[in-house]
Structure 1
Amino acid sequence: MSAATPTPQDAGLPAPPVLPSSRFGDQTTSSASATKPTILHLGDDIRWNHELYAELSTKFRIERSYSMGREEFKTALKERKWGDFVGMYRPFWNTGGEMGNWDLELISLLPESCKIYASAGAGFDWVDTKTMAEHGIIYCNSASACTESVVDVAIVLILSAYRAIPWSFLAARSCSATEFADANQNIAAVTHNPNNTILGIVGLGKIGYRIAQKASTAFEMKIWYHDVVRMEEREKAIGAKWCETLEELLKNSDCIVLATPFSGAVLLSHAQFAQFKRGSRLINIARGKLIDEEALLKALDDGIISAAGLDVHAHEPHVNKELAQRKNVMVLSHTAGASVESHVGFERLGMENLLGFLGGGEAVTPVNLHWLKKRE
């Protein structure tokens, strides 16, 4: 059950005046509450970080949109329903996003006072962060809050691909003696231990690096990686090998893990699958649209890919039926980052971004600073 939104009075905290050093400047009115800049809270009530929310409420007036469809949300922005809010806060990934993709159509309707959007979740392919930056808005994600949860699921998928866990699970779950016996007697001929094999990671960010740490320590896997930037300190820490090209990584790895953001283009299609080491495995805990699923099916049919583990899918919430029915493919429901610990962190990190940046300091997890243009 969602907790009621606490007020400053509930927490026994006074409402302080606006600080001159804040990002939003002085706003003087006759009402004490009206002097506080406004933050638009998208979606459900917070559930865990009530003390921090109370602190946010002492410094800002919180307006709520709750769950609102795109057309209704657009109308509300046009009518300035929430006034000149200075920031937006979305504490959950499954609520507060009913208005759909944040593109120019929505972003252009935001008030000029809006400086920051702090949202739950790691991925941000649904947000045009470049356009936000061009409108003077910093977008902050919450990837660090779900790192451990995502990485743990990545490890599960790696093991499932090496050890044919989907085949064994489905055979046992069928309650068929024939299918059970088939798995029991034949799985050993096609499964392997991951020890001393090469794990190729595409994207050695926080999640990719943590996958490398756990895989190299627990399973003694050799780490190779490809990224747009070489990360020599991380290389040395885990004994990783950098591949300057994606092709080099694909040709040499026994298992590939995608841990890179979706930039708007498919990363793996027919040409790339032709470069894979034959019999290798593919894990995706990043974004489904990174993979051409028809090309993956062909690679599985041709034996180029021996097994796959997919937490994400190209056309969510719809899962490719041909992939889902294969006993050498583990499919999940985009739940790698779903844990209580992740959600607690999403809530907290969003508020920390707002308090830090709007208080005159810096945002904790901005993703579009390189595009940001300050308004004159």
Structure 2
Amino acid sequence: MAEPTNTPMPGATPRSGSPGPAGKLTVLHIGDPIKYNPQTYATFSSLFNIIRPSTEERQRPEFIKALKEKRWGDFHAIFRPFWGTGGEMGKWDAELIELLPDSVRVFASAGAGFDWADTKLFGEKGVIYCNAGLAAADAVADFAVAMIISTFRHLPWCMGSAITGSPAEFQDCHKRATAESRNLTGQVLGFVGLGNIGQAIAKRLGLGFGMKIHYFDVIRKSPDIEGYLSATFHDTMDSLLAASDCVVLCTPAGEGALMTAKTISKTKQGARFVNIARGSLVDDDAVADALESGRLSAVALDVHSTEPDINPRLLRLSKTSAMLTCHNAGGTLDTHIGFEELSMKNIMGVLTGGKAITPVNMHFLKSKM
């Protein structure tokens, strides 16, 4: 059976291409129907005319054709409530963004990362891009705590040795891992990026485990935030790396890698490294080199530069010094519930004359009448 093009709220959503109620602004809903927040959606769909293109219409060639022929008219917002669907058209680059009608004012999406969308071009076209990282902050922070603990206590080594069934490996790990493990209290935890997720991790590890919080960011945080977290600011990344016992990447993807052979050489001997940001920020071979040489003593990587494939050298190190997971940090049911609701609230805020909750490109935005 062909997928219906209306979201499942009786009477609320016209089929693709049908005219909406007079006077209502139109939202293009890309991806699956909403699942978790029916009350919020009832308000959302009462305010706007919702059009949901079919799966076939979301494939890039057909999506481009639909935009060119203005199949959905002059819509005013794009709504992507789930990370698993709604991305069939691929990267939002100049080819797609230039085809959007000038009426579009906001794009609200699930997910914390936005490397698949050119937020600068969106801003220059007058479109506010909103991510949903705030909804994932608790899930990612909880997961990051486990990863950071792993780097200090060598959990892959401890767990791997226990499940081999070899008494010799068990005894070897029991004896040697002790000499290489450290308590977290008093250790310097260095953040590259201290946004919502970074602050949530810092709160857990600083206040809960007694770690010393240091950070580098392009914009220094307010005295209130620094005071609450007892956070020390570094005005260069090299300074942060030199001071940190464990470095955590919490920054959006940019142009090229941040953790390379050159930057890793600035870390303390035997430092630890955790990535819950984007795999593209890390040179995997440089990390493997650093683990093999002892420059880094342990790493925990939730994201990888060639997902779903993992660097084979890191795979070999996963039994000893590398904790590797499958982009799981934000993956909880609570996160998906939050993605869906936050995306709706961002659109309602902008289209009803208020403010976006989680915009990421306001510095690129041009005034738009």
Asked if Structure 1 and Structure 2 have the same fold, meaning a TM-score greater than 0.5 normalized by the shorter chain, the answer is: yes
Q: 1:5 Cα shift?
A: 3.5
Distance 1:278 1:66, change over 3 A: farther
Partner of residue 200, structure 2: 210
Partner of residue 57, structure 1: 45
Matched, 1:245 2:233: no
Q: 1:285 Cα shift?
A: 0.6
May I ask how many residue pairs the two structures share in their alignment? 356
Partner of residue 221, structure 1: 211
Q: 1:84 Cα shift?
A: 1.5
Compute the TM-score of the two structures, normalised by the length of structure 2.
0.91
Of 124, 143, 168, the match for 1:134: 124
The 2-side partners of 1:291 and 1:174 are apart by 31
Partner of residue 367, structure 1: 360
Equivalent pair of 1:6/1:50 in contact (CA under 8 Å) = no
Matched, 1:147 2:137: yes
The 1-side partners of 2:162 and 2:80 are apart by 41
Partner of residue 338, structure 1: 331
Structure 2 unaligned spans of 5+: 14-18
The 2-side partners of 1:359 and 1:181 are apart by 65
Of 180, 183, 199, the match for 2:189: 199
Partner of residue 94, structure 1: 84
Partner of residue 16, structure 2: none
Aligned AA (2:357)? V
Q: 1:10 Cα shift?
A: 7.9
Of 251, 263, 287, the match for 2:254: 263
The 2-side partners of 1:166 and 1:172 are apart by 10
The 1-side partners of 2:156 and 2:168 are apart by 16
Equivalent pair of 1:34/1:61 in contact (CA under 8 Å) = no
Q: 1:213 Cα shift?
A: 1.1
The 2-side partners of 1:261 and 1:161 are apart by 22
Of 332, 351, 354, the match for 2:347: 354
Equivalent pair of 1:199/1:222 in contact (CA under 8 Å) = yes
Equivalent pair of 1:200/1:255 in contact (CA under 8 Å) = yes
Partner of 2:239, secondary structure, is helix
Partner of residue 16, structure 1: none
Instruction: Please show how residues 158-177 of structure 1 align to structure 2 within 5 Å.
Output: 158-177=148-167
Partner of residue 5, structure 1: 7
Partner of 2:151, secondary structure, is helix
Partner of residue 47, structure 1: 35
Partner of residue 27, structure 1: none
The 2-side partners of 1:88 and 1:107 are apart by 12
User: How much is the aligned-residue C-alpha RMSD, in angstroms?
Assistant: 2.0
Partner of 2:61, secondary structure, is helix
Partner of residue 224, structure 2: 233
Matched, 1:185 2:169: no
Question: Could you report, residue by residue, the CA deviation over 1:148-184 in whole angstroms, capped at 9, with x for unpaired residues?
Answer: 0011111110001110101122222333444333323
**Aligned sequence identity (%):** 45
Structure 1 unaligned spans of 5+: 12-30
Partner of residue 74, structure 1: 64
Distance 1:10 1:366, change over 3 A: closer
Of 73, 95, 98, the match for 1:83: 73
Aligned AA (2:252)? P
Partner of 2:53, secondary structure, is strand
Question: Could you report, residue by residue, the CA deviation over 1:111-152 in whole angstroms, capped at 9, with x for unpaired residues?
Answer: 221111000011111110010111111100111111000111
Distance 1:70 1:9, change over 3 A: closer
Question: Could you report, residue by residue, the CA deviation over 1:287-341 in whole angstroms, capped at 9, with x for unpaired residues?
Answer: 1111111111111111110000001111222211211221210011111111111
Equivalent pair of 2:285/2:313 in contact (CA under 8 Å) = no
Equivalent pair of 2:131/2:360 in contact (CA under 8 Å) = yes
